[in-house]
Amino acid sequence: CGVINLNNMASSLENQVQLSIYLKDGLTTDQIMAVGKQIKAIPNLKHLEFVNKEQAMKEFKERLGDQQQLVNALGDVNPLPNSYVLTFDNPSDVKATAKLATTFQGVESTHYGQDIVEELFRITQVIRIGGIVLIAFLAAATLFIISNTIRLTVFARRKEIAIMKYVGATNGFIRWPFLIEGMLLGLIGAI
């Protein structure tokens, strides 16, 4: 249950990865639309949003909260560029997409928190592999316990088994009660 929760948390964090593509200043509306068309052609794109300079400045001021006077010192100058914000169906594609986007004409730079995202992907991979190893270990331990329980039961009932063989019981007839007992013990242990 804990492994599943960790995996769900890791997947949730991965799905929050966004790629920001910053455009060069001075692009015309047609040039901005052309870049948008190129971006829309990227496979595995989940969502695309255009953020103009004014909207970016408004969001920046909202994030600053009480420290908006820092931005007011700029006056009418808006240093923030127009940008596109992308999310993906498969977040592991963000690095390749960022590299591809830098080749588009009119793109100044890209940003997706490279160091953080790559560390996040590494951690989620470790969590997933650790979960698989843990599940495999627990499955092997369960099989070992069931096997030993059956062996101990056979050993404890060796006289009964010998009598059954003398009477003419087949090996299959003798094994079935032990297998059923082992499965029931495994089922009860799993609950």
Q: Confidence class of residue 190 from pLDDT cuts 50, 70 and 90? A: confident
Q: Confidence class of residue 7 from pLDDT cuts 50, 70 and 90? A: low
Mean pLDDT of all residues in 78-94: 84
Sequential DSSP letters for 37-79? HHHHTSTTEEEEEEE-HHHHHHHHHHHHGGGTHHHHTTTT---
Q: What average pLDDT is seen over the chain?
A: 83
3-state SS, residue 80: coil
Distance CA 51, CA 133 (A): 44
H or E segment to which residue 23 belongs: strand 19-23
Residues present in the chain in total: 191
Mean pLDDT of all residues in 35-59: 88
Q: Confidence class of residue 3 from pLDDT cuts 50, 70 and 90? A: low
3-state SS, residue 106: coil
Where is pLDDT greater, at 118 or 151?
151
pLDDT in tens, 63-72: 777 776 666 6
* Most confident range, picked from 72-76, 122-126, 142-146: 142-146
Q: Confidence class of residue 33 from pLDDT cuts 50, 70 and 90? A: very high
pTM above 0.85, yes or no: no
Please say whether the beta carbons of 106 and 60 come within 8 A: no
Amino acid letter, residue 54: E
Going along the chain from its start, the domains and CATH numbers come out as 18-111 (3.30.70.3040), 122-190 (no CATH)
Judged by phi (left if over 0) then psi (alpha if -120 to 50, else beta), residue 75 lies in left
Distance, CA of 138 to chain centre = 23
Q: How far is CA 74 from CA 61, 62, 82, 87, in A?
A: 12, 16, 18, 31
